[in-house]
Every structure is written in C-alpha cells, then in structure tokens.
Amino acid sequence: MLIQDPYLNYSLEDFFWDERFRADVLNGGKDFAYWEEWVKLHPTHQPLVEKAKLMILSVYVDNITFHEDEIQQLVRDTQKILELDYVDDFPMEDATPARKMNRYWAIAASIVLMVVASWIFVEKNKSVNLSFQPSYENLIKAIPHQLIERVNQTNAPLIITLPDGTRTTLSTNSKISYPEKFIALDKREVFLVGEAFFEVVRNTQKPFLVYAEGLVTKVLGTKFRVRSYAIDKEVVVEVASGRVSVFANPKFANDDKKASNELSSIVLIPNQKVSFLKSDASIVKTLVNNPILLKPEQEAKKLINFDDTPIYTVFAVLKEVYGIDIVFDEELLAECSLNANLDGYSLYEQLNIICKALNGSYEVLDGRVIINAKGCFKK
Amino acid sequence: MNFSIANDNVIWQNLLTGDRNALAKLMHAFFRPLANYGLRFTSDKELIKDSVQELFIVLWERRDQLATSVNLKSYLFTSFRRLLLRKLKKIHKTSTITLDPIYVDSFSFVLGTESKIIASEQANNLSNHFNQLIAKLPERQREVVYLKFFESLSREEIANILEIAPQTVSNILQIALSKLKIATPESVWKFCTFPLVQLLVEYLF
C-alpha cells in the first residue's frame, strides 16, 4: 500500500507550525529546494505553500546565531569537565562518614598550608623589599604546591594539553608551569614566560588565569595569545574568540596604584589586544595587527561586497564580521554610500578604502575604530 | 528540535543514572532554544554560553535529587530563566560604571530582520508592523507571546516558567492578542487572505 504524503492534507496553519517546513523556509536555499520540487508535483498546493512561507518569513524572531561548531565546543568542554571529575560526582549528602572526615582534614590542612604560605610570603616580601619583581621565577616560587614545567627550546611550536584539556601552543624559547591537576575549587592557574596561544576549555565555575610578569589574564573559555618574553618591555594579550579580562597582579602593585582604580580589570573582545607596560603597570587597549574574520569566510565574502550601500550599513557589516566597534557620526554621514567589493583586503586596507571614498580618515582608540569624515552631498 | 517526547524521557532517565553522554545529548538538543530565549534578556553571547553550561553542570550535580518524571522543556526553561536572571542581577549590582547596553535590555524580540534580504517587501512590511506592535506590549505580555508562538509551549508550561497561575497566562495572552488584532489594519492583510492573528487565536483557544 502506498503511504500518502501527509503534507497533502496540510492546511495553511499546519504548514505554518510544521517544524520541518519552518526550518526549510528559514534556512532557504538548498533546504527549501525540496519544497520547490514538491510544489511541482502538487501544483494545486502552490498558493498554500507560498503563503505559509511568506508568513513564516514575516513572523520569525531574528536571533544572533550561534554556529554549530560553537555549540559542539561548549558541549565537549562540559563533557571534559565531567570526565575529569572537576565537578564533585557525589553530592555532599552521599559522602560516607570517612569521606566526610577526610574532607574536614583536608580543609584543616589547607588552612594550615595557606597560613604558612602567606606567612612565608609576607616574610619574603619583607626581606626582598620594594625591588621584588613579578618575574616568572618569583611567581612560581610563591606557589605552595608542585608545578609541572614545560620548556620549548626547539624551533617549532610545541603543543601541550593541560590537565583540564586546554590546548596550549608554546612558542620557541618559552616556558609554562601548571599543576599536575587543577585542584583549586575556584580557579585554574598557569604561569608563562615567552609566548603561548591558549584554547581554553570553558568551565564557568573555574576561571582560567595566566600569570605573566605583573599581568594576570582571566578567561572562562576562549582563544587568546599571551606574549611576555623576559627581555620585552611589555606583556601583550591578543584575543581570537570569546572574552578575556586582564588586570595588574595586585600582589605586585604599589600602594598608590592599589588605591586607585587602575587595578580594576579591562575587558577584551575578539580582535582587541592590550599592552601592559612592565615599568609602570599601565595598560593600553588597541586592536590586533591583523584582525581575523569572526564569521565563516564564505559568509563574510558575500557580506562585504557593497553595491551602492549606505555607509551606515557598511560599518554595521564590518562590525559584525570583525566583532569590533566602529564609531562615526551617523547624522553627518547619512547621505554617504559605498560602491566597492572589499573582499581580499585586510580590515585596515578596507578602512583605508572607505575613508578615501569618504574623504576622511580613521584612528584606533581604546580598541575601537573612530571615523573622521565631513559627510557627503545629497545626490 | 528533532527530539520526540518519548526520546527525551529515555535520555532523561539515562542522565539520572549517571550517563554523561545523555547529558551531552540534552545539552546539544536544548542549546538553541535556551540560548534564543536567553538572548531576549541580553545580547551577551558569552554570558548565555556560561549560563547554559552552568545549568547542565548543576543538573548533573543534583541528578540524584531530581524527579524521574518531568516535563523536560518547561523544567529546563524554568531553571535557565532563574539562573540567567540571577546572573544579570549580579552584573547590575556589581557594575559601578554605566552598564553596557547589552545588559540593560528588558525582554525583547525583533521579527524577521535577518530574513529581510530574502523576504519580499510584503513580508517586510508585515514584520515591521508586528515589531511596532510587539514593542508596545508590556514586558510580561511580550514574554508570554514569545514562549507561546516561538517555543510552542503550553499554557501550563508557560505558567511554570514564569511562576504564575495558568489562568493568568491565558488572560495575558488574550489581552496581548486583542491588542495585536485591534491595531492591525485591514490593509496589512490585503495580500494575505488568511489573517494571521485570526490564525494565531484559533491555534490557541
């Protein structure tokens, strides 16, 4: 017996709420091709399908899209956290009395350790006086537990997987230290001299901290680079995805800095970078030298081909594609438009092309692009 | 979502017995609906990802205290809403400087702007019209309309999520829909012989 196509009995309402039909309409292109074929087979249903499509397109909530990769990454990260037992597998109530005792002993022991460690630290601070530097060696000396140290003395980058699954690409002549297991309940700490790129496994409950000289970089789950060679005058942090916050290590800040707001953290988004000057612990936010596309290349290519596009839209597209903020006078530039395909150029080249067309200029200030232009005549 | 209710329940049972893969499957299946819902409160993608992860980790930690039979979607939406709003409140409290605009938005949604490129002018007119109407609704009504039409949740499920009585949900919906209906001029429907609002009302009651 032939199974009848259920869609033949669909009303407009049925089509409107049908999950598959909805998805195909919203995805468009290849996905909707099925329905174009279907309509050819059943021409009497064409008006119905057209109407349903129109309705879905007009009453559809516009969402910021999460890419499938992004979602899968989050699920993988979460699985990793569970596998590595960073989440307590047994709720407190289930713990046996022996386990409970151990817990108390562990807490007592860690308190003693902390007291001893801080006493040692204070004593050391006293004897070392003000010239105490937040160098890599001094930073790891202050850590009470054993650390694993990896050094890259080869000419090729060295990939290291940290105990939480985080992937680190260590550059030549660089060193990183981390604990055998991230046992601390509230954070994951690593220490770096030289350069490394981190792809951090997201763990909302345990921020990941990179200590490099006097700068601390704190993230939840992102991709970013830290460069802190001993001979450099500054520490540089560049963000590839997600969000990163950086702040001067409060342990090494002098008192007037501590009092001021300068210790508060600075938040970085993709394609932004900070330079932390070792001498005075000042932090400057700019853009990375080569901003990367945050959207898949094919998608971005289509977006940046402008055909008599209002300048407002052009900047909105660049904001979306690179994730950076572009500041301009909307009123002043209301009459301006752009006719150019910007595919194949870097962000800075693209900005140059636009500014030439606008007869203006741009500058990068505090991690944002500021456009200076006088406006265009009405056509 | 391509998960049937029966399938959801099997996965839920597996999760309760300590199957990590079951947790991963649920997280993957529910990420988009939860994230899209969360985006109505804030456009901070990182905060949304953090919140979804926290939701599922807490779920895992408490799995031996959870009910074996549960309306999964409404349960997840309820917990997620509570968790996200708590986080947003904390951000509001701790931030001393002016808030980033991504945190100050109250519950809001915009129809059809993404699809503008492919949609016809008629569809654009209709979505613009609806956007204006929806923007005028009080926040509560907006949230109920969203959960009803874009998450296809039942009256009882919405009541659970918003922690109000089911009857209140019906009342809010009726008020919101009558506002949408009254404010929609005949001309908007000219191209469409089947008034959408009529359809929405029929679908509901």
Give the closest of B36, B130, B202 to A63, CB-based.
B36
Residues of chain A found within 8 Å of residue B53, distances taken between Cβ atoms: 74, 77-78, 202-204
Q: For residues B146 and B120, give the distance between their C-alpha atoms in angstroms, rounded to a whole number.
A: 24
Averaged pLDDT of chain A = 83
Mean pLDDT of A51-68: 73
C-beta atoms of A205 and B36 within 8 A: no
Q: State the span(s) of chain B assigned CATH 1.10.1740.10.
A: 5-94
Nearest CA in chain A to B130: A59
Over residues A5-37, the pLDDT tens digits come to 889 988 777 787 677 887 788 777 788 899 999
Interchain CB contact of A57 with B (< 8 Å): yes
Over residues A99-122, the pLDDT tens digits come to 445 556 566 666 666 666 665 555
User: A336 CA to chain B: closest CA distance, Å?
Assistant: 21
C-beta atoms of B146 and A58 within 8 A: no
Q: Please enumerate, as own/partner, the contacts of B141-146 that have beta carbons within 8 Å and a separation of 24 or more.
A: B141/B172, B141/B173, B141/B175, B141/B176, B141/B179, B142/B107, B142/B108, B142/B109, B142/B176, B143/B40, B143/B107, B144/B169, B144/B172, B144/B173, B144/B176, B145/B173, B145/B176, B145/B177, B146/A61, B146/B37, B146/B40, B146/B107, B146/B109
How is residue B181 annotated by DSSP? Answer: H
At the top level of CATH, the class of A297-372 is: alpha beta
Q: Which of A60, A245, A295 is best to mutate for the B interface (most B CBs within 10 A)?
A: A60
Cα B62 versus chain centre, distance? 24
Give the closest of A57, A59, A91 to B62, CB-based.
A91
Cα A222 versus chain centre, distance? 4
Q: For residues B203 and A378, give the distance between their C-alpha atoms in angstroms, rounded to a whole number.
A: 49
User: B83 CA to chain A: closest CA distance, Å?
Assistant: 13
Over residues A61-91, the pLDDT tens digits come to 666 678 888 899 999 999 998 887 654 444 3
Region for residue A281 given its phi and psi (left: phi exceeds 0; alpha: psi -120 to 50; beta: otherwise): left
Over residues A333-373, the pLDDT tens digits come to 888 989 999 998 999 999 999 999 999 999 999 899 999 98
Interchain CB contact of A59 with B (< 8 Å): yes
| pLDDT for the residue A144 | 83
| pLDDT for the residue B183 | 58
Q: Which stretch of DSSP H or E encloses residue A338?
A: strand A337-341
Q: How is residue A174 written in tokens?
A: 């660089």
At the top level of CATH, the class of A134-287 is: mainly beta
C-beta atoms of A220 and B39 within 8 A: no
Give the closest of B27, B43, B109 to A61, CB-based.
B109
C-beta atoms of B57 and A26 within 8 A: no
Interchain CB contact of A185 with B (< 8 Å): no
Over residues B153-193, the pLDDT tens digits come to 888 999 999 989 999 998 988 888 777 666 555 544 444 43
Q: Which of B115, B116, B128, B188 is best to mutate for the A interface (most A CBs within 10 A)?
A: B115
Averaged pLDDT of chain B = 76
ipTM of the complex: 0.80
Residues of chain B found within 8 Å of residue A81, distances taken between Cβ atoms: 57
C-beta atoms of A202 and B130 within 8 A: no
Give the closest of A54, A64, A205 to B57, CB-based.
A205
| pLDDT for the residue A88 | 46
Identify the band that residue B197 occupies on the pLDDT scale cut at 50, 70 and 90.
Answer: very low
Q: For residues A262 and A110, give the distance between their C-alpha atoms in angstroms, rounded to a whole number.
A: 32
Residues of chain B found within 8 Å of residue A88, distances taken between Cβ atoms: 61
| pLDDT for the residue A259 | 52
| pLDDT for the residue A150 | 96
Q: Is the pLDDT of residue A262 over 50?
A: no
C-beta atoms of B27 and A74 within 8 A: yes
| pLDDT for the residue A107 | 62
Give the closest of B20, B196, B202 to A79, CB-based.
B20
Share of chain B above pLDDT 70, in %: 68
Give the closest of B27, B127, B150 to A58, CB-based.
B127
Among A252, A276, A307, which Cα is nearest to A131's?
A252
Q: Which of B117, B150, B196, B202 is best to mutate for the A interface (most A CBs within 10 A)?
A: B196
Q: Is the pLDDT of residue A261 over 50?
A: no
Sorted by where each begins, the domain ranges of chain A are 6-58, 134-287, 297-372
Q: Which stretch of DSSP H or E encloses residue A358?
A: helix A347-358
CATH T-level fold of B5-94: Rna Polymerase Sigma Factor; Chain: A (1.10.1740)
Position A78, amino acid: T
User: A84 CA to chain B: closest CA distance, Å?
Assistant: 12
Give the closest of A16, A87, A202 to B60, CB-based.
A87
| pLDDT for the residue A130 | 43
Residues B112/A62, Cβ–Cβ less than 8 Å: yes
| pLDDT for the residue A215 | 92
C-beta atoms of B111 and A62 within 8 A: yes
Residues of chain A found within 8 Å of residue B130, distances taken between Cβ atoms: 58-59
User: B109 CA to chain A: closest CA distance, Å?
Assistant: 6
Q: Is the pLDDT of residue A177 over 50?
A: yes
Question: Of 1.10.260.40, 2.40.37.20, 3.90.79.10, 1.10.10.10, which CATH number belongs to B114-204?
Answer: 1.10.10.10
Interchain CB contact of A19 with B (< 8 Å): yes
| pLDDT for the residue B110 | 64
Position B104, amino acid: V
For chain A, the first-to-last Cα distance in angstroms comes to 67
Over residues B35-78, the pLDDT tens digits come to 988 888 888 888 999 999 999 999 999 998 888 888 888 899 99
Residues of chain B found within 8 Å of residue A86, distances taken between Cβ atoms: none
Q: For residues A223 and A215, give the distance between their C-alpha atoms in angstroms, rounded to a whole number.
A: 17
How many angstroms separate the Cα of A101 from the Cα of each of A91, A105, A110, A112?
15, 6, 14, 16
Identify the band that residue A183 occupies on the pLDDT scale cut at 50, 70 and 90.
Answer: confident
C-beta atoms of B49 and A202 within 8 A: yes
Mean pLDDT of B145-158: 83
Q: Is the pLDDT of residue A230 over 60?
A: yes
Q: Is the pLDDT of residue B109 over 80?
A: no
Identify the band that residue A95 occupies on the pLDDT scale cut at 50, 70 and 90.
Answer: very low
C-beta atoms of A64 and B23 within 8 A: no
User: B141 CA to chain A: closest CA distance, Å?
Assistant: 16
Residues of chain A found within 8 Å of residue B114, distances taken between Cβ atoms: 60, 62-63
Model-level pTM?
0.72
Cα B147 versus chain centre, distance? 5
Q: How is residue A264 written in tokens?
A: 């508060």
More reliable by pLDDT, B98 or A76: A76
| pLDDT for the residue B195 | 45
How is residue A280 annotated by DSSP? Answer: T
